[in-house]
Structure 1
Amino acid sequence: MRSPSSTYRIQLSPDFPLEELWKIVDYLEVLGISTIYSAPFFQAREGSTHGYDITDPYKINREIGTLENFRLLSELLKEKKMTWLQDIVPNHMAFDGTNPWLRDIFELGPDSKYYNFFDIDWDYKGWGKIMSPFLGNPLEEVLESNDLKLNFDREGFSLNYFDHSYPLSVRSYSKILEKTGINGWKEKFSSFSGNDMQWKDLKTGFYREAKDTPQLESKVREAIRGIRNSKESMQEILELQYFKPCHWKETEQEINYRRFFTINDLICLRMEDPEVFKTYHHYILELCESGLIDGLRIDHIDGLLDPAAYTKMLRKALGDNFYVIVEKILEWDENLPLDWPVQGTSGYDFLAEVNQLFTKADNKEKFTEAYEKIIPRLPEYEDLVYDKKLFILKKRMGGELHNLWLMLKDNQLLPEEEQDEEKWKKVLGIFLAGFPVYRIYPEKFPLDELQKKTIEQAFQHAVNFKKEYRQDLEVLKKIFLGEAEKDQEKMFRFLHRCQQFTGPLAAKGVEDTSFYIFNRLVSHNEVGDSPENFGLSIEGFHQKMQQRKKDFPLSVNATATHDTKRGEDARMRLNVLSEIPEEWFTKVEEWNKITQNLRKEDSGPGPNETYFIYQTLLGGMPFDQNADEEFLTRTKDYLQKVLREAKVHSNWADPDEEYESAVFEFTEAILNDDAFRKSFDPFQKKIALLGAVKSLGQTLLKVTVPGVPDIYQGTEFWDLSYVDPDNRRPVDYDLRKRYITDFKSYNKDDLNKEISSFTTSFSNAKIKMYSLFKALNLRRKNEKLFEKGEYLPLEISGKASENFIAFARKMDQKWCVVVVPVLVNSVFEAEGKLIPKPEELEGSYLQLPAEAPKKWLNEFTQGQISTEGKVELNTLCSEFPMALLKNNTE
């Protein structure tokens, strides 16, 4: 298996196509990257910046490049012994008129070979149609305003609504041509057999004759105008379609297709069908078999009906020696199923573990008490999550909940006397909101013990919040467990189906709602992490890494992704606050007094939003503290998203722009207020320095612990970005290339001088990139040591024992030792250099195993170290804030 040594995540887009990627391959090679890890690059909607809205999985996105471009790039990578890891999206495609599979369905209906590819309930209300929520107003209003337009071009007849265009069904043609008085073509369309190739020929022939016969084209255009201008005629045409245009808001309460989360224009596939699997993956597997793709990352695997079966189908298609990871959100005590034939996850679990390590757990109660004084009426986090899940079900996923109720009723799973729709929708919602994890993966009844335990936990959570429904919840529990006296196959199908919605419910209710409300320490309001948790001990982290080494040693170690809520280094800044709760909350109180006259009366922001803004500015402020127009614009855009996701004072469906403006004005006002900046700036400067130390530690751990380190584009420098789309901004690769050229040119004398400069002029990010460069290259040269070598926790003795973490990687005679500062406030100066205070490290030692080598080289400083079993921390960290030691076996 060509497993990666390290990956570099690239967001290919029209602004960064394959040609631009070509220009940085040399740079990535020198940095120490083994594998380019690409966002989806198949044909997507025009202008897509992320690639997850795929319209055609059989083509490379024309705005990104061509297959020939990719082949040439692949040849270059092979010359450099680099590989390609490709993100694919088996759960959904774009619900768009440019999607050829949907176009085929809309034209041919049941005769289309793709008719059952998408997760659509064609029998819903007897419509035989799919709801198409692309209208900005109810259909009646759209017809009154004449905003729906009929069109005719080389693709045939279509229905257009501003930027949306959907092809008309074959049965529409004879109806339209009936109004032309020309019967020849009308009869041809009326007698059409349903064959796909014949249909294309028929359309093409008709278009050509219309263009070559002005009289025919004129009559067609006249017929179109007549239909356009008649509401009744338009309605007749709409009745003949296999899609039902509707207002986008209708899907909040009624929907007959499965969508990605609550995004109407991403429609889900029935990937459990072998024919759908084979068809969708045909081109992807061709690229894999031809050696152009060396690994796959599976997006949103929890959306599939049976993820376990999917991974086994994929493994069978790829063979045993192919690298596969899955995007999976794991709760704190949840593990990826060991029987899935994959190498691990895309890294959110690692992000959470390392993020918690750099948080001081001892101060949880102090933080909680102080936060509750600021926001006294905020519910407990668990209560908040439960409430927001119910909100999402009722207000955003009402259609999905209704469909689950119909399945429950139609399969006769409830007692005969129990047919109250509103009651059972409520009970079902209460149960689903109680799930403690994204979902379970049932393969048959009886469920395994862990699955039973999870359902029991969901039941207990539901009962705790809604005791009056206990008896009804018991009924559902028996159905989920397969213990009700009902048809086993129907109960299992219902359980499976419900699991496709507990994930979106968690994502929307937790990550996209609760994460923007519960603001105790927002560094943990992060994908994969949870604000409910507060810190992980050094011993606990060691245990997590040993388990990682045992179960999934090739799982990805991510600290930043396109989905993260804030930059990896912004999180580390905020984690500093966990070490200084008294100082932090004193500052909050001081700033509240200073800024009380800067807010509009009876307007935003409220106390919770204000507290959030302070943390946002601490984490995102540039090192030079220049809150210029660009920073202010980015921050306002971010805060707008925060307010709308929180759904407390504003939301996407019905935004309160007046409240939002008040928040923006307040943020701008405090940044321009001298009294506030006089108090804020020195504290923020301290947090930025101490946060930089934690960031360096996070970077080194990511590269050296078990797992495959992933570098998200641009995060070789300090990453203080906000959530998407802010984290997709262009990267200055020219400056990064200059830095790496400098690193390669250093001799011993230069290095001593540069090391000192790194630790004082750290705002230029050279120290972070240098740390990454040295660690990645050491890993690249010793791939087996880091892939298969033992992970040995090491002891730090003395005063600084709780401030540093240390471990060794060992394989045969090769050793590598890592020493990283974790709790930094007491051992580093608040200003100046990123070097520990010598007096705070005095008497503290790294203890090495008896069998460890005696001579070491510090990769960062190139200093030689000799030891008889222990090394003073001052020896290791007097020039550089952390240590990366290797023994010389060459």
Structure 2
Amino acid sequence: MTALRASVRLQLHAGFDFDAAAAQVDYFARLGISHLYLSPIAAAVPGSTHGYDNIDPTRISPELGGEAGFARLAEAVRAHAMGILLDIVPNHMAAHPGNRWWSDVLRHGRRSAHAGWFDIDWEAPGCEGTLWLAVLDRPLAAALADGVLSLDIGATGPCLRHHDLTLPLSPLSFPAAADSWPAWVERCQRSPQRLHDLLQRQAYRLAWWRSGADRTNYRRFFDIDGLVALKVEEAQVFEAVHALPLRLVAEGHVDGLRIDHVDGLADPAGYLQRLRTCLDGVAAQRSLPPGSITLHVEKILADGEALPADWTCDGTTGYDFMDQVGALLHDGAAEPALQALWQAQSGDGRGFDAWQQHARLQMLQGSLRCDLDRFLRGLAEPCANDPTAADLTGGMFERAAIALLQHFPVYRTHGMRSAADLQWLNRAATAAAAQLGEGDRAALRHVCTWLGEQPALRTRFEQLTAPLNAKAVEDTTFYRYARLLSRNEVGSDPGRIHLPLEQFLECAGQRAQQWPQALLAVATHDHKRGPDARCRLAVLSWNVAYWAGQQRHWNALAAAAGHPCPLPGAETSMLWQTLVGSWPLQAEAVDAAFIARVGGWLQKALREGKRVSSWNDPDPGLEQAAADWLAWFGGSPEAAVLRSAVEAFVHGIAPHAARLGLVQLALQLCCPGVPDIYQGNEGWDTSMVDPDNRGAVDYAQRRAWLAAAPDWQQALRAWSDGAPKALLLATLLRCRAAMPDLFSAAPLTALAAHGAVWALGRLAGPHGMVLVVDAAASVDMALAGPSLLRQGAGHAGRVTLPVGHWRSLLDARRCEGGQDVDAASLLDGAPVAIWVLDDGDEDGC
């Protein structure tokens, strides 16, 4: 079994299946990757591009190549002494006809053997003991009158059809004799009343899709009606969901699991303990010691929040690191100027916290209303059993609960067992009480008490706070509050621009001590924008006045051309930032395809923001006006001057951003933890949010980079194709492979820090590594031409390397330790230098 050293995340789908992945295994092995980290491989909704909408967790997806295709991939991986990490989805499944467990519930209702497998509130008011199925494109009465509901005879008997949707019918609602079905179907089709009566005999209640937010009585993944939550805490469900991954582990094909949306589970700590016990059991079959099979959790941590110490896992999937390294690269002095600029553009001077609180209220009153009602119903039992609550009304409890949820700063607590859990609850309760009247405050006190005493109520609360955080913050406020979009990233706090080096190193030290195998990510399948797009926007923090002037200039040019941007100021700022962050570096690449990609992002951003448009109620006029303006900007001769101005600005800041991108990558590879490389990130990644960030990867280009003779200085001069990033990545992955003990055990310490020039070291026995970086970026066009080399960095200060013979990995220079050395000479104009103790074995590292 190969030790986990560095992973590469691969997004599998029909267009990039097991065989396509297997064809690249030799490349990843030569690059220095130890493990392929695969997106979910279980059977999913046909045509799925991500696998999180699984319909059968017991079966490998036939669209990916099925069991045989996976076996071929696993064989190729083992042949190159590598391993596989597998993403699994224990929280939910697709509410889809292809999901046989779900279909059985639709057919038999509460009598189904799987009725208890899904988190369904059968007693929810208004549902009359049925499953509320909000799937109709119009109200039920209109659907019957308009004839968009019909009957058919499927493979298992009569069924109901609504456009492309097929739903099973209860076997108690149609004749038992198959030969009578055609005539029965014909009779029902002729009479809307007969069809209506038939629907009343089903285990589900068909309803207009707009009713889902208020009435859906099954827990969903966030607010997506098409994804139904599982009760994985039930033994039968746990065994069924994990049978496939545990088998693949036992067979030696899989060496680690990644748990999707662990916050959605009723008891994450208990779940992880149970899964760890199972993993250790199957590991023993492979003669492996306990803990050998790695277990990572997708967990978003708030500022100041730590992963629960009692979780039996190996750490997170790296959103925390992505936030920390991103904040590190911004100018800490920029916040006042950025806030003033944002206030001028948006007309709203509130901080991020106020924006997200307002979004939370909208979510609770909107798409998460049924989840809120479910929690409020859970208050009835403790209220009835507590005489001191007799005078408190339902309205008081509702206002108290909403205020508490508005201010709840983390995804969830974990059983209210720790001081940290109580701290988050008390913090939210204090803020909530400040906006409530006396009666509502009394209700709030009772709610907080009951949360500590009532496990079932607490679970409902925790399974509401997680989707509320995700939907209100990442999927709403991130598309409203645009002070600087590089800080609007999954796991990040846009209210904080900068993280000082001292705090960054403190976080790295804590990770090394508590979670040494935690993943370190700077890009994921869920990122809002690629790591190098974020670096471009980070550059803007280093000269806010210049950035503000450029936006005013562009807006003026658009107005002078008779085409001012039709969006409000906040959304216009988001659009400019997105164009700057993702603008291709080759002029000929700013074509219709690029504008179409930005257009896809723009529509999603406007609808996710829910200010001027939304998914449920889009504003076709505004969206079309914005699309027309973007098309004009991208292709009209009248916009040539404006396009040239934006292009000149991008080309001016791009070298600064590329330097920051190399610093970011070097930190990812040199910090304690396991670097996880997102597919295609060997080169520059200026992608936008999904689906843009899940595009095809040019592996021919990446193989060419790896095969090329390394020349660091030349790569920095001709950098725009991504060659220096690929060279830096390959060099550091090779170094990690040659000195695994150094990177798994040695702490990261600061040897010197002069402004934004830092020397960070890791030492372990005869091995040592010193990373020197220049993380300064000023938008002053000071670089000599387009090169990434920066000469004359007199501000760099001096570094004392530990005693020994030191060699530069990137260009083979040498120097002696034990004496002060000018940091500028160690960098030699580059943004990054890696020095290692020279043991004479240049082939190793």
Partners of 2:334 and 2:596 in 1: CA distance: 34
Structure 2 residue identity aligned to 1:459: A
Please say if 1:620 is aligned against 2:582.
yes
**Equivalent residues of 1:759, 1:833 under 8 A apart:** no
Structure 2 residue identity aligned to 1:814: H
**Equivalent residues of 1:74, 1:292 under 8 A apart:** yes
Please say if 1:681 is aligned against 2:647.
yes
Deviation at 1:165, TM superposition (A): 1.2
Q: Which segment is superposed worse, 857-866 or 317-326?
A: 857-866
Structure 1 residue identity aligned to 2:166: S
Partner residue of 1:874? Answer: 824
Q: Which segment is superposed worse, 666-675 or 276-285?
A: 666-675
Structure 2 residue identity aligned to 1:716: E
1:270 is matched with which residue: 225, 231, 237?
A: 231
Partner residue of 1:180? Answer: none
Instruction: State the identity as a percent.
Output: 31
Question: For structure 1, which runs of at least 5 residues remain unmatched after alignment?
Answer: 178-184, 187-205, 207-215
Deviation at 1:869, TM superposition (A): 2.7
SS of equivalent residue, structure 1 residue 839: coil
Structure 2 residue identity aligned to 1:431: L
Partner residue of 2:307? Answer: 336
Deviation at 1:517, TM superposition (A): 0.9
**Structure 1 vs Structure 2 CA RMSD:** 2.0
Partners of 1:372 and 1:687 in 2: CA distance: 24
Structure 1 686/474 Cα, relative in aligned 2: closer, same or farther at 3 Å?
Answer: farther
Deviation at 1:314, TM superposition (A): 0.8
Deviation at 1:17, TM superposition (A): 0.6
Deviation at 1:590, TM superposition (A): 2.1
1:729 is matched with which residue: 683, 695, 715?
A: 695
Partners of 2:660 and 2:110 in 1: CA distance: 59
Please show how residues 29-40 of structure 1 align to structure 2 within 5 Å. 29-40=29-40
1:297 is matched with which residue: 258, 268, 271?
A: 258
Partners of 1:629 and 1:86 in 2: CA distance: 37
1:461 is matched with which residue: 422, 427, 431?
A: 431
Please show how residues 699-848 of structure 1 align to structure 2 within 5 Å. 699-742=665-708, 746=709, 751=710, 754-796=711-753, 801-825=754-778, 829-830=782-783, 832-841=785-794, 844-848=797-801
Task: Report the count of equivalent residues.
Answer: 823
Structure 2 residue identity aligned to 1:259: R
**Equivalent residues of 1:455, 1:477 under 8 A apart:** no
Partner residue of 2:557? Answer: 594
SS of equivalent residue, structure 2 residue 215: coil
Partner residue of 1:472? Answer: 440
Please say if 1:426 is aligned against 2:405.
no
Deviation at 1:475, TM superposition (A): 2.7
Partner residue of 1:575? Answer: 538
Partner residue of 1:634? Answer: 597
Partners of 1:878 and 1:483 in 2: CA distance: 59
Partner residue of 1:182? Answer: none
**Equivalent residues of 1:45, 1:54 under 8 A apart:** yes
Partners of 1:763 and 1:755 in 2: CA distance: 14
Partners of 2:749 and 2:695 in 1: CA distance: 39
Please say if 1:394 is aligned against 2:365.
yes
Partner residue of 2:132? Answer: 131
Partners of 2:659 and 2:716 in 1: CA distance: 10
Partner residue of 1:438? Answer: 411
Partners of 1:158 and 1:477 in 2: CA distance: 51
SS of equivalent residue, structure 1 residue 790: coil
Question: For structure 2, which runs of at least 5 residues remain unmatched after alignment?
Answer: 281-289
Please show how residues 198-347 of structure 1 align to structure 2 within 5 Å. 216=179, 219-319=180-280, 320-321=290-291, 322-347=293-318
Note the alpha carbon deviations across 1:506-552, whole angstroms, 9 max, x for none. Answer: 11111111111111111001101121001011122111111111111
Deviation at 1:422, TM superposition (A): 4.5
Partners of 2:145 and 2:373 in 1: CA distance: 30
Partner residue of 2:332? Answer: 361
Partners of 2:103 and 2:214 in 1: CA distance: 26
Note the alpha carbon deviations across 1:582-605, whole angstroms, 9 max, x for none. Answer: 21112222222222345768x821
Please say if 1:380 is aligned against 2:351.
yes
SS of equivalent residue, structure 2 residue 720: helix
Deviation at 1:378, TM superposition (A): 4.7
TM-score normalised per structure 1: 0.89
Partners of 1:615 and 1:701 in 2: CA distance: 25
Partner residue of 2:287? Answer: none
Structure 1 382/312 Cα, relative in aligned 2: closer, same or farther at 3 Å?
Answer: same
Q: Which segment is superposed worse, 689-698 or 418-427?
A: 418-427
Partner residue of 1:102? Answer: 102
Partner residue of 1:153? Answer: 154
Partner residue of 1:352? Answer: 323
SS of equivalent residue, structure 1 residue 412: helix
Partner residue of 1:862? Answer: 812
Note the alpha carbon deviations across 1:202-253, whole angstroms, 9 max, x for none. Answer: xxxx5xxxxxxxxx3xx42121111122122212222222222111211111
Deviation at 1:880, TM superposition (A): 3.5
Deviation at 1:3, TM superposition (A): 4.3
Structure 2 residue identity aligned to 1:578: S
Q: Which segment is superposed worse, 241-250 or 767-776?
A: 241-250
Please show how residues 171-186 of structure 1 align to structure 2 within 5 Å. 171-172=172-173, 176-177=174-175, 185-186=176-177
Partners of 2:427 and 2:837 in 1: CA distance: 49
**Equivalent residues of 2:396, 2:443 under 8 A apart:** no
Structure 1 418/157 Cα, relative in aligned 2: closer, same or farther at 3 Å?
Answer: farther
Structure 1 861/122 Cα, relative in aligned 2: closer, same or farther at 3 Å?
Answer: same
Larger radius of gyration: 1
**Equivalent residues of 1:756, 1:879 under 8 A apart:** no
Q: Which segment is superposed worse, 150-159 or 405-414?
A: 405-414
**Equivalent residues of 2:318, 2:520 under 8 A apart:** yes
Please say if 1:90 is aligned against 2:90.
yes
Partners of 2:503 and 2:762 in 1: CA distance: 18
Structure 1 570/737 Cα, relative in aligned 2: closer, same or farther at 3 Å?
Answer: same
Partner residue of 1:546? Answer: 509
Deviation at 1:419, TM superposition (A): 6.5
Partners of 1:555 and 1:756 in 2: CA distance: 33
Partners of 1:831 and 1:277 in 2: CA distance: 60
Partners of 2:433 and 2:479 in 1: CA distance: 26
Note the alpha carbon deviations across 1:324-381, whole angstroms, 9 max, x for none. Answer: 0000010121110111011000110000000000001112112112222222335322
Deviation at 1:675, TM superposition (A): 3.3
Please show how residues 633-672 of structure 1 align to structure 2 within 5 Å. 633-671=596-634, 672=636
Structure 1 517/109 Cα, relative in aligned 2: closer, same or farther at 3 Å?
Answer: closer
Structure 1 110/252 Cα, relative in aligned 2: closer, same or farther at 3 Å?
Answer: closer
Partners of 1:875 and 1:869 in 2: CA distance: 13
2:342 is matched with which residue: 360, 371, 376?
A: 371
**Equivalent residues of 1:452, 1:481 under 8 A apart:** no
Partner residue of 2:283? Answer: none
Partners of 2:693 and 2:166 in 1: CA distance: 31
Structure 1 residue identity aligned to 2:436: K
